[in-house]
Structure 1
Amino acid sequence: MIPPAESLLKYDNPVLVSKKTDRKSPKARPLKVLPQQPPLSGPVPPPPKPRSPAADANRQQTEEILNSLLPPREWAEEGQLWVQQVSSTPCTRTDVVQLQGQLDGLLQQRQARETGICPVRRELYSQCFDELIRQVTINCAERGMLLLRVRNEIRMTVAAYQTLYESSMAFGVRKALQAEQGKADMETRISDLEMEKQDLERQVNEQKAKCEAVEKREMERRQTEERKHSEEIQFLKRTNQQLKAQLEGTIAPKK
């Protein structure tokens, strides 16, 4: 038999559940539970003391409550089904101290992180809490059921936080992809705008050159017109003086 992984939750000895079917009859035979046989070597334990029917009823009721709160674990090996139920043996102060030592030892052995998110630490503390529920349930079933509600609420809260974390991670990745896509589009737009800016600057330079050429041409034309105008004025002044001199010479009396 291959035993399951070590757990802080205390279990009874595993029992073998064998299921055999009759080939001639379609109906299956009932399950047979075979307890694990003790080794032949060593002293033979004394027979158990007879218990009262009330004690047996209380023990059976406690086992039923424990099985409903902490279901037994099962595993298959070579076509055989093994079942291991939670122990219904009451605990002592020594058991609690031993549980604390086992918890500390497993935390160091499995190298659980002391801070932050650590699945190993969470698993070990969950097993320890289940063991505390088992110990409390044996003494007071109502208190154990209340602790079970607390455990389930903690698990629901952790699951909600995990779902929220996963959704936030997906949202962050989606936003990052959108940002990357928007970044590429923005870079393309920036490149287009820079090219448009260069084209506009080229057009502005061409228009400035045209404007300077027009101003220069108009200034030269204005200077030419002013020079012509001044020459024409000078010519008219000389002509006027000559005509005035001729007129004065004509009007003046002859001696």
Structure 2
Amino acid sequence: MIPPPDSLLRYNPPVLVARRPEKRPPGVSGPVPPPPRSAAAASAQQPQELLNAILPPREWEEENQRWVQEVSSAPSTRLDVVHLQEQLDLRLLQRQARETGVCPVRRELYGQCFDELIREVTINCAERGLLLLRVRDEIQMTIAAYQTLYESSVAFGMRKALQAEEGKSNMEKRIAELEEEKRELERQVSEQKAKCEAIEKRENERQQIQEKKHAEEVQFLKRTNQQLKVSKKLQFQIVMVKLLIL
């Protein structure tokens, strides 16, 4: 396990707390007892314990050795705060953090800076530091809630997009089917129109033939009637002539 990266939060020098035994001398067993603490270390234990509760120590293993690095309990001056601001700006530039939008790098660095401010305030006033801790936890909980909401909304949007794509393909298939059905109906309409035109043409021709035939019959009947009239007139004249002769 590699050591943790540098942080804007000030830590004490790492302390070796345990070593993985590889070879023990014969007759030696059990854990190695810790070294006795001095009076100064005992007097500084209470604020250090509070800092450890607020900002847990970092632990890692390196070459079969376990290291622990606690948060520093040394008070900070105004120059330290100015240096913290300069380090924050420098690391934002070095790690190419985005100035706007969602940026995990910027969020991480500002979180480290806020933890350092909590450490500095806690050393001077424990109550104020605990209150800032509550504020930090509330902010982190709110950000986590927004992140969960964002992820769920993204998943919801993806589902809706997939449904839309599926619905789009179905609609495109339905549109193609309707267009094919439309073309078939148009073809049937064209055939029916052609049939109607052919029937109208045949009926018109038949009507013209009937009208022509009827006109010929009327003319024939008129001629016949005229001939009959002429024939009757001649017969009448012949009868009159015969009567006069007699």
Q: Which has the larger radius of gyration?
A: 2
Residue identity in the other structure for 2:105? V
**Once the two structures are superposed, what CA deviation does each residue of 1:69-101 show, in whole Å capped at 9, x if it has no partner?**
101110011222111111111211121122112
The 3 A distance-change label for structure 1 pair 185 and 95 is: same
Residue identity in the other structure for 1:248? K
Shift of 1:151: 0.8
| CA distance, structure 2, for counterparts of residue 178 and residue 33 of structure 1 | 66
| CA distance, structure 1, for counterparts of residue 74 and residue 31 of structure 2 | 32
Q: Which residue of 2 aligns with 1:38?
A: none
Shift of 1:235: 0.8
2:128 to 125, 129, 143: 143
2:149 to 159, 164, 178: 164
| CA distance, structure 1, for counterparts of residue 207 and residue 166 of structure 2 | 60
Point out 4+ residue stretches in structure 1 off by more than 4 angstroms. 19-22
The 3 A distance-change label for structure 1 pair 114 and 33 is: farther
| CA distance, structure 1, for counterparts of residue 131 and residue 217 of structure 2 | 122
Contact 1:17-1:33 within 8 A present in 2 as well = no
**Mapping of 1:178-197 within 5 angstroms?**
178-197=163-182
| CA distance, structure 1, for counterparts of residue 3 and residue 220 of structure 2 | 132
**Once the two structures are superposed, what CA deviation does each residue of 1:16-43 show, in whole Å capped at 9, x if it has no partner?**
1116789x9xx953663699xxxxxxxx
Q: TM-score, normalised by structure 2?
A: 0.85
Q: Which residue of 2 aligns with 1:32?
A: 34
Quote the RMSD (CA, aligned, Å): 2.8
The 3 A distance-change label for structure 1 pair 97 and 202 is: same
1:246 to 218, 231, 241: 231
Q: Which residue of 1 aligns with 2:78?
A: 93
Shift of 1:218: 0.5
**Mapping of 1:81-120 within 5 angstroms?**
81-120=66-105
| CA distance, structure 2, for counterparts of residue 33 and residue 94 of structure 1 | 36
| CA distance, structure 1, for counterparts of residue 145 and residue 51 of structure 2 | 27
Question: Are residue 129 (structure 1) and residue 114 (structure 2) matched?
Answer: yes
Residue identity in the other structure for 2:14? P
Contact 2:88-2:113 within 8 A present in 1 as well = yes
Q: Which residue of 2 aligns with 1:216?
A: 201
| CA distance, structure 2, for counterparts of residue 121 and residue 20 of structure 1 | 38
Contact 2:3-2:62 within 8 A present in 1 as well = no
2:191 to 206, 211, 216: 206
Contact 1:73-1:84 within 8 A present in 2 as well = yes
- Unmatched 5+ residue regions in structure 2? none
Residue identity in the other structure for 1:134? R
Contact 2:19-2:64 within 8 A present in 1 as well = no
| CA distance, structure 2, for counterparts of residue 97 and residue 31 of structure 1 | 42
Contact 1:72-1:84 within 8 A present in 2 as well = yes
| CA distance, structure 2, for counterparts of residue 86 and residue 206 of structure 1 | 92
* Deviates further, 98-107 or 208-217: 98-107
Shift of 1:111: 2.2
Shift of 1:105: 1.9
1:153 to 125, 138, 149: 138
Residue identity in the other structure for 2:225? N
Q: Percent identity?
A: 65
| CA distance, structure 1, for counterparts of residue 4 and residue 184 of structure 2 | 77
Residue identity in the other structure for 2:205? E
* Deviates further, 231-240 or 192-201: 192-201
* Deviates further, 5-14 or 106-115: 106-115
Residue identity in the other structure for 2:79? T
| CA distance, structure 1, for counterparts of residue 218 and residue 5 of structure 2 | 123
| CA distance, structure 1, for counterparts of residue 57 and residue 147 of structure 2 | 27
Shift of 1:68: 0.8
